[in-house]
Amino acid sequence: MSIVNTMLQPLEWLIAQLLILGHRMLTAIGMPDGAGLAWCLAIMGLVLVIRICLLPLFVRQIQSMRRMQAIQPQLQRIQRKYAGRKDPRSQEALQRETMALYRREGANPMGSCLPALVQMPVLCSLFSMLQRLSRIADGTSPAIGGIDRPIAVDIEASRFLGVRVADTFMSVDGVSERLAIGAIVAVMCAALVIMQWLLTHRNTSRTIMESPQFRMQQTMVFVFPVIYIFSGVTLPFGVLLYWVTNNLWNLMQTVAQLRWFPNPGSVADERKSVRDHARENRRRRAAGMPSLEEEAVEAARRSANDRRARESRARRHRSTVVTSD
């Protein structure tokens, strides 16, 4: 653990500086200094800073997921080609053709994991820093960045919903405090369940939804919330504030993704096509143009007229040939 802590020290220092900066901005707009709500909001504000920095990775994640969804039919054909063939040569050929498909289509199966991998050190650093607040406050641990003993005392004593930042579900005695922590954990789990349900049932292509792997994905929707429940009773309340804000951000981000950047062939993609169709018809109506349906009918009518004209010319040509013979 000492090696891990040493590696996380620069990140802890940066998080400490961001916390102090966020607190100063909140006090500058009129919130009271010292122990209070400003420190709790500063912790939650870390989500905004971190997620804004992660937006480029989120865009890459969407692109990777869309590519992976689009190549699923080709991937399944490759898997069916080598189904039941367990010899080393067949397995090597399966891996080779799969990797060639990934390279050709620019897909990366690990692309969707990048934001989570980046956030994990941040969460670990925040957890470590909040765990050390009590030791910094009593002088048994050195300061972290700008968080010295007086600031640590203020942060540790800050309350949100009546719960101190440093408290855990197991350390508080009051019923109201435990109910507040339980409510935060419940919101955290609910946001995660809704987000994962939307991703699996609204942003997954119908081809994948018919595959056996989809049943495993459905099971995973409920696995992580259970982990959250067990971890939620041991984590400091400050970490829970960060985590619940992060999950709510993820939920809103997922809703935006389903509305504007759904995966090809998914239910969300079909609904987006319907919305785009209606929006285009409204634009055409405002511009005095025919609707898409009217344009399609007109195109079919012209195609039918062209076909009849070609058939008529062909009949005349045959008649002319017969007459000349």
List pLDDT tens digits, range 49-98.
888 887 887 777 777 777 777 777 788 788 888 877 777 888 888 888 88
Q: Check: CB of residue 139 under 8 Å from CB of residue 107.
A: no
Q: What percent of the chain has pLDDT over 90?
A: 16
Q: Check: CB of residue 238 under 8 Å from CB of residue 130.
A: yes
pLDDT exceeds 70 at position 143:
yes
Tokens of 283: 């634009």
φ, ψ for residue 197 (rounded to 5)?
-65, -45
Under the banding of pLDDT at 50, 70 and 90, the label for residue 187 is very high
Tokens of 278: 């209606």
- Give the Cα separation of 227 and 171 in Å (integer): 20
List pLDDT tens digits, range 2-23.
566 677 788 888 888 888 999 9
- Give the Cα separation of 27 and 254 in Å (integer): 32
The predicted model scores a pTM of 0.77
Q: Which of 237, 13, 227 is nearest to 125 (CA)?
A: 13
Q: Check: CB of residue 163 under 8 Å from CB of residue 177.
A: yes
pLDDT exceeds 80 at position 37:
yes
Q: Check: CB of residue 108 under 8 Å from CB of residue 102.
A: yes
Specify the residue for token string 């041991």.
234
Specify the residue for token string 């991703």.
199
Q: What pLDDT score does 312 carry?
A: 85
pLDDT exceeds 50 at position 1:
no
Identity at 25, one-letter amino acid code = M
Identity at 215, one-letter amino acid code = R
